[in-house]
Structure 1
Amino acid sequence: MNNNLRNLFNNSWIEIALRWILGITFIYASYYKIMSPTDFAKVVYGYNLFPEVLISPIAIILPLVELISGLSLLLGIYPRSAALIINGLLLAFIFILTINIIRGHEFDCGCFSTKKAGSPKMMVARDVIYLVMGLQIFLFNGVRKGCFIRLDRKT
């Protein structure tokens, strides 16, 4: 990898911007799910992938994981761990969306609200972009940082 590209990947400001984008996105995505767990449970049920006994726990736990991981990225508290969790969620979302696209199943994403989010293929593309952002945070920036400052730097 040439020096310019390596410097771009290791740029603290790039990481902070990516953490903020992903963090705010996941905090925002968790909001409606936390406020309307019943509606979100219907969305999860609509994927036709999970046993009924898991629908309610998923509808309750998933938004909390999104919220905590998003806040962790935003505040710079264990950002690599938060990025790893978010990347796991994104891989699951991509898998779930892709399975339903292949099956030709009409579904509501449930990503940000109960409103239709658009084309399922566009949702997969969006999640892949988020995944690349999360991978950049996880793989290329191993130093723990706060919102704007490096916590490990001696002044």
Structure 2
Amino acid sequence: MEQINRSDLVFDLFYGSRKNETTGDRIAEITAVVRDRMNGKDVTTAVFRRITDAQRKKTYELGEVRMLLGKDAFCTAVIEHYRKNPQAQFDNLMTEVSEFLESGLNNSTWIGTFGLRVMGDMDVSLHLLEEILSIAGKKPEAA
């Protein structure tokens, strides 16, 4: 069975938006991916949604989630953390999306399956609590 090693983990963030043609709702989606940079596999993937209806009422939800290893304590801890407050998760990540969009898009902006790639290969400790990260191993020594 594969083992998840904290020192191999990175964080990727994607943004996409669309309109539901049936209801007219505007849907913004932020996809957060914890990835193993050594083998390229997505360890966890979670989609946070903000749905704005015609009356401008906003609702938040945690959409699709994927785990590399369903029985792994780290994978389940990440998803449980995300489930606690999808609105706060969305709002925190949206701050980074907004900064990215305000900085301007250029010819190196990458669009993939999950939408615009806002950031990639980021330090996972910037986005997950230490208590969750410690499940995947000790904090790496400072260089």
TM superposition score normalised by structure 2: 0.27
More helix by share: 1
| Higher-Rg member (1/2) | 1
More strand by share: 2
